[in-house]
Chains A and B, each alone.
Chain A
């Protein structure tokens, strides 16, 4: 009986009015049974809408109220929560936006949502120490070839076909009260962005050059420093190889992206 009641109530909360929960409750006082049930059905949608608003503030500004509400209604109906934490409720929002009109007619929308999901993932990814220039200096030369850069757990790679990150930055500045021009959505050359959380627990992101992306791919695949140098040797002329290896290593260390492991 309890199971049947819960399934019936949940059906009503999810929006199925044929669940008829009104018939299972007692008439009390001034409030109608319809109204009593609606308190729960409205609270469900309001709570999930607030969650999407919080996690996707910039996307909300980009869409405007009407489209945002349309997205929220569609997403809540199609993807009920299977998580115990609201933190993960909007995980499939980018997927929803690539599958449903009118949102999928403007692919930058899904990219914006995906970028915000990646920022959230970097925000509370696992902690791990990173190495400093001093750690690097202390490493014995014979250990360098077998050195493996261990990526910080917050590292995310994000590929864009549109100017979504530039748009996100402009909208964020706009939210913060700055006078900025929001760029028009443009199908640009594919870009790759690196997102991570630094040791001050601030989330950062930067665009990667093709060779920087290649280095990060090598690191994520646990390739050794010798492997990375070999790859770089095919990219840079011999006379500038060493200085470029140094430049790339400095980029990894100065941005607090890796720790050193044998």
Chain B
């Protein structure tokens, strides 16, 4: 691995928010009472697409004190159903309330025939899929009046139709649509193990300018395969991959994503601090951004 000094790190940019955590309802009171040192929080958009009550109360309270980004799971950008304009309208309403630094979803499909699988299902890596995605991403970006970030998903199968690699597929989509990537380092690791490719090759081949955010998360390792469960600490292999990703992409806003078996807030904060330490060693500090 190339050892980078401070000057080797790609220049900080205004989109480097520093180090964040996923906002979870279990931690609302802790965050508001203790005001922990977290640079930003990521919210799960769908959890706040409600009329009122506790979710929106706490959202507004946290938004007063921290920068937020929005992360969704139901855009179903790769679906062959019509774009869900009702969903996008609700998303836009929430965007206007939250005023997030950016919004993201996943490079996948979740629904077909108007039935929602509530899963992030993989797409075949083909020219037709790229064309389909680029067309839909452009429509969404026009409607939301901003570029969106799309996250690489964990996958457990490869379609026979696929005729290119995932990283080439992602690069082509970002180039043609102008969208950005939320690079989930754990998902790269999970998919690499399940499909037998080299995770570092994935990172090395992704266009450097397309990455706006990193996710770090835990998974369940069954030996023969790995399931992306988000219910464990980040493992050493993923930390190593994060280290490598920093070498390639420099200062990228990074967060710990935990969705199940959620520990007390200080435990997640310690994990976030670990990510920060790895970045700091490479000369990446939030204060550096101009």
Q: Give me the interface of A with B, judged by CB distance under 8 Å.
A: 1-3, 5-7, 9-10, 13-14, 24-26, 28-31, 33, 35-37, 39-40, 43-44, 47-48, 51, 80-87, 89, 123-128, 153-154, 197, 201
> A2-B80, A84-B84 are known contacts. Are A13 and B158 too (CB-CB below 8 A)?
no
> A10-B112, A127-B52 are known contacts. Are A39 and B156 too (CB-CB below 8 A)?
yes
Closest to B88 in A: A84
Asked if B6 is an interface residue, CB under 8 A from chain A, the answer is: no
Asked if B109 is an interface residue, CB under 8 A from chain A, the answer is: yes
Give bound CA distance, A124 to B116, whole Å: 22
Chain A nearest Cβ from B113, distance in angstroms: 6
**Could you say which residues of chain A place their CB within 8 Å of the CB of B157?**
25-26, 33, 36-37, 39-40
User: Do B51 and A82 have beta carbons less than 8 Å apart?
Assistant: no
Stretch of B11-19, B121-129, B177-185 contacting A (4+ beta carbons < 8 Å): B121-129
Chain A nearest Cβ from B196, distance in angstroms: 5
User: Do B84 and A125 have beta carbons less than 8 Å apart?
Assistant: no
User: Do B118 and A47 have beta carbons less than 8 Å apart?
Assistant: yes
User: Do A201 and B158 have beta carbons less than 8 Å apart?
Assistant: no
| A-B contacts, 15 listed (Cβ < 8 Å) | A2-B128, A3-B80, A7-B112, A9-B112, A25-B159, A29-B224, A33-B157, A37-B157, A47-B118, A84-B49, A89-B118, A124-B52, A125-B52, A153-B52, A154-B53
Closest to A21 in B: B157
User: How many residues of chain B get a CB closer than 8 Å to chain A's CBs?
Assistant: 45
> A30-B224, A86-B118 are known contacts. Are A127 and B159 too (CB-CB below 8 A)?
no
Chain A nearest Cβ from B82, distance in angstroms: 12
**Could you say which residues of chain B place their CB within 8 Å of the CB of A10?**
112-113, 115, 117
User: Do B119 and A47 have beta carbons less than 8 Å apart?
Assistant: yes
Give bound CA distance, A28 to B46, whole Å: 35
Chain B nearest Cβ from A246, distance in angstroms: 30
> A6-B112, A153-B52 are known contacts. Are A44 and B118 too (CB-CB below 8 A)?
yes
Known: A24-B159, A86-B46. 12 other contacts (CB 8 A): A5-B124, A6-B121, A26-B157, A31-B194, A36-B157, A40-B119, A43-B119, A44-B119, A84-B49, A85-B47, A85-B49, A86-B118
User: Do B224 and A31 have beta carbons less than 8 Å apart?
Assistant: yes
User: Do B46 and A80 have beta carbons less than 8 Å apart?
Assistant: no
User: Do B196 and A29 have beta carbons less than 8 Å apart?
Assistant: yes
User: Do B225 and A31 have beta carbons less than 8 Å apart?
Assistant: yes
Asked if B175 is an interface residue, CB under 8 A from chain A, the answer is: no
Give bound CA distance, A89 to B195, whole Å: 32
Asked if B114 is an interface residue, CB under 8 A from chain A, the answer is: yes
Give bound CA distance, A39 to B81, whole Å: 24
Asked if B142 is an interface residue, CB under 8 A from chain A, the answer is: no
Closest to B133 in A: A2
> A6-B79, A37-B157, A84-B46 are known contacts. Are A28 and B113 too (CB-CB below 8 A)?
no
**Could you say which residues of chain A place their CB within 8 Å of the CB of B49?**
84-85
Asked if B87 is an interface residue, CB under 8 A from chain A, the answer is: yes
Closest to A50 in B: B260
Q: Which of A2, A3, A80 has the most CB of B within 10 A?
A: A2
**Could you say which residues of chain B place their CB within 8 Å of the CB of A35?**
225
Chain B nearest Cβ from A181, distance in angstroms: 32
Other-chain contact of B54, A3, A29, A201 (Cβ < 8 Å): A201
> A5-B124, A36-B157 are known contacts. Are A81 and B116 too (CB-CB below 8 A)?
yes
Chain B nearest Cβ from A196, distance in angstroms: 11
Chain B nearest Cβ from A218, distance in angstroms: 24
Chain A nearest Cβ from B289, distance in angstroms: 35
Asked if B262 is an interface residue, CB under 8 A from chain A, the answer is: no
> A1-B161, A83-B116, A85-B74 are known contacts. Are A124 and B156 too (CB-CB below 8 A)?
no
> A7-B112, A40-B119, A86-B118 are known contacts. Are A126 and B52 too (CB-CB below 8 A)?
yes
> A2-B80, A7-B113, A44-B119 are known contacts. Are A26 and B57 too (CB-CB below 8 A)?
no
Other-chain contact of A82, B114, B129, B159 (Cβ < 8 Å): B114
Closest to B123 in A: A2
Chain A nearest Cβ from B125, distance in angstroms: 11
Give bound CA distance, A14 to B74, whole Å: 18
Give bound CA distance, A255 to B161, whole Å: 61
Chain B nearest Cβ from A121, distance in angstroms: 10
**Could you say which residues of chain B place their CB within 8 Å of the CB of A85?**
46-47, 49, 74
Give bound CA distance, A2 to B124, whole Å: 8
Give bound CA distance, A13 to B119, whole Å: 10
Asked if B55 is an interface residue, CB under 8 A from chain A, the answer is: yes
**Could you say which residues of chain A place their CB within 8 Å of the CB of B123?**
2
> A47-B118, A47-B119 are known contacts. Are A127 and B158 too (CB-CB below 8 A)?
no
Give bound CA distance, A82 to B119, whole Å: 13
Give bound CA distance, A89 to B116, whole Å: 10
Give bound CA distance, A91 to B237, whole Å: 41
Give bound CA distance, A25 to B162, whole Å: 9
Give bound CA distance, A129 to B195, whole Å: 55
User: Do B51 and A14 have beta carbons less than 8 Å apart?
Assistant: no
Give bound CA distance, A7 to B129, whole Å: 15
**Could you say which residues of chain B place their CB within 8 Å of the CB of A24?**
159-161
User: Do A201 and B57 have beta carbons less than 8 Å apart?
Assistant: yes
